[in-house]
Amino acid sequence: MDSTTALFANAIVAGLLLGGFYAAMSVGVSISFGMLDVVNIAHPAFILLGSYIAYTMNDRLGLDPIAVSVVLSPLFFVLGAGLYRVYYLCFEQRGQESLRGLAFFFGILFITEVMLVLVFGVDYRMSKTAYADTTWRLDALDFPMRLVVPFLVSMLMVVGLQLFLSHTFFGRAVLAVAQDPLALRLMGVNPIRVKERAFALSIATAGVAGAFLIVIQPVQPAIGREYIGLVFAVCVLGGMGSIWGTLLGAFVLGLAESFTSTFFGPSWAPAVSFGLLLATLAFRPAGLLGR
């Protein structure tokens, strides 16, 4: 392989690996925003919370961040259920979700960030894992393990969620809840309960994605905001509320960022998600797969 081809091929590999990680970050928003119509812009705050919890366990006890996050995901589930209950009582029930509900989540995002600053400071934190520094090589292609491991776990999680949502009664109830809550009530299902659990599930995925984040790169409280554009871009690109769509959107975004980093420099990468988001909203608001 000559060097340009190698550069190109490596950008594709890095983009796909990155995309797998983005899918984990965005799948929760696909559920909360896409399926439940709850615009949780605080989602990245929970990702960061997950990062810092994984970091603490890794730093103090030497535990693997990803394993910790999977074990602790019920905690995030409970946190999510509680948050949804407050949101429902204060905003959804009163029909005030569009303005005040948004401001509420913004406040939560902000408070979480400031709390993390107060506890951990503004320095970058990193995790230490056995695989983080190894890179698997195939010809000229690099497969850095710090990206491969999160990628594989992420694929397991996302595909698992898709199977769960499409093959269980609960999953079908989640898909129906935003469209036809009345029909659910007639079937004896409480739509509020369904939304609460589904929202809780979305927050649980944020906790796991947070562990991926700290394995992949150093983390600082303020970077949460940078991912808001990203997770919503993936979600909109994927056509909102479709998990396969989210996966596709995540790969598209991962590739776009990887190529931007390779050919224009990494400092431009954050602009990519916003550009794609705006372009999608302007030209294909129904998403890539939309009609």
Partner 1 sequence: MTNRVFAAVAFAVAIAFAAVTQLISNEYYFTAAYTVLQFVILATAWNILGGYTGYVNFGSAAFFAIGAYSSVVLYNAFKAPLPVMIVAGTLIAGLAGLGLGYLTLRLRGVFFAIASLALAVVLYTFVVNWDYVGGARGAYVLQPSEVPFGLPRYVHLLYIAMVLMSALALIVARTIETSTLGRGLAAIRDDELAAECSGVPTLRLKIVSASVSCALMGMAGTTFPYFLSYVEPSSAFNLSYAVNSIAMPLIGGMMSWVGPLIGAVLLGSVQQLVQVTISSAWNLLIVGVLLVAFVTLAPNGIMGWIDLWRRRGRG
Shorter beta-carbon distance to partner 1: residue 109 or 211: 109
Cα 170 from Cα 175, distance rounded (Å)? 9
Interaction between residue 281 and partner 1 (CB under 8 A): yes
The encoded tokens of residue 14 equal 């890095």
Determine how many CB atoms are found less than 10 A away from the CB of residue 26.
32
Nearest-5° Cα angle at 110, 108 to 111 = 65
Of the candidates 12, 32, 8, 1, the residue with the CA atom closest to the CA atom of residue 251: 12
Cα 159 from Cα 153, distance rounded (Å)? 10
Alpha helices in the chain (DSSP H): 3-29, 43-61, 65-87, 102-120, 145-167, 169-177, 181-186, 191-216, 223-237, 243-264, 269-283
Interaction between residue 275 and partner 1 (CB under 8 A): yes
Min CB(110)–partner 1 separation in Å: 4
Residues 8-37, interacting with partner 1 (CB under 8 A): 33
Residues 44-73, interacting with partner 1 (CB under 8 A): none
Shorter beta-carbon distance to partner 1: residue 107 or 160: 107
Name 37's bridge partners.
Answer: none
Min CB(18)–partner 1 separation in Å: 17
Of the candidates 230, 229, 228, 248, the residue with the CA atom closest to the CA atom of residue 238: 248
Shorter beta-carbon distance to partner 1: residue 94 or 167: 94
DSSP conformational letter for 132: T
Q: Binding residue for partner 1 (CB under 8 A) from 1, 71, 100, 136?
A: 100
Min CB(107)–partner 1 separation in Å: 4
DSSP conformational letter for 123: S
Q: Considering only 53-61, 75-83, 152-160, 227-235, which stretch makes contact with partner 1 by CB under 8 A?
A: 227-235
Interaction between residue 277 and partner 1 (CB under 8 A): yes
Min CB(225)–partner 1 separation in Å: 7
Interaction between residue 39 and partner 1 (CB under 8 A): yes
Taking the alpha carbons at both ends of the chain, their separation in whole angstroms is 40
Shorter beta-carbon distance to partner 1: residue 108 or 256: 108
Interaction between residue 160 and partner 1 (CB under 8 A): no
Enumerate binding residues for partner 1 (CB under 8 A). Answer: 33, 39, 41, 86, 90, 94, 96, 98-100, 102-104, 106-108, 110-111, 113-115, 117-118, 222, 225-226, 228-229, 232-233, 236, 267-268, 270-271, 273-275, 277-278, 281-282, 285
